[in-house]
Amino acid sequence: MESKRQQKYSKLIQKEIGEIFQKEAKHILGNSFVTVSRVMVSPDLGVAKVYLSFLLEKDKPIFEKINDKKSELRKHLGNRIGKSVRIIPELALFMDDSALYAQHMDKVISSLDIPEATDEDSEDDEDEI
């Protein structure tokens, strides 16, 4: 369970990294659209786990490119929040695959073969109630 301080710090980092991707990191992203889906900060505020999801590109090459430029991303973050925080956290980047998982589950559910309820089944259900 995160403390209020960690939650506040996480939201700040999420907002700022999102703006960095929009304004200052176009040379890294190209035509990709990156969403900072979640940020989790360690209790000592020294490490931030940043979860990213991608659109319009294959995930792996862009993620690897961003991961290689992690120090540049941290520098931009430090320029933005350096006056209001004591420590600029180390960034640990992760791919957020919750959208892919949701698509997979939707596909599995839609492929299920569930027979329609017959009239006899509905009458039996009404009798039980």
Q: How confident is the model at residue 28 (pLDDT cuts 50, 70, 90)?
A: confident
Question: What phi, psi does 48 have (nearest 5°)?
Answer: -120, 120
The whole-chain average pLDDT of the chain stands at 84
Domain segments of the chain: what residues?
4-96
pLDDT of 58 above 60 = no
Mean pLDDT of 119-127: 59
The domain covering 4-96 belongs, at the CATH homologous superfamily level, to K homology (KH) domain (3.30.300.20)
Cross-sheet strand order for the sheet of 90-95:
33-41, 47-55, 90-95
Q: Which of 3-17, 55-69, 75-89 has the lowest mean pLDDT?
A: 55-69
Q: 69: how many CB neighbours lie within 10 A of its CB?
A: 16
- Contact, 90 vs 52, CB < 8 A? no
Measured CA to CA, the distance from residue 93 to residue 48 in angstroms comes to 8
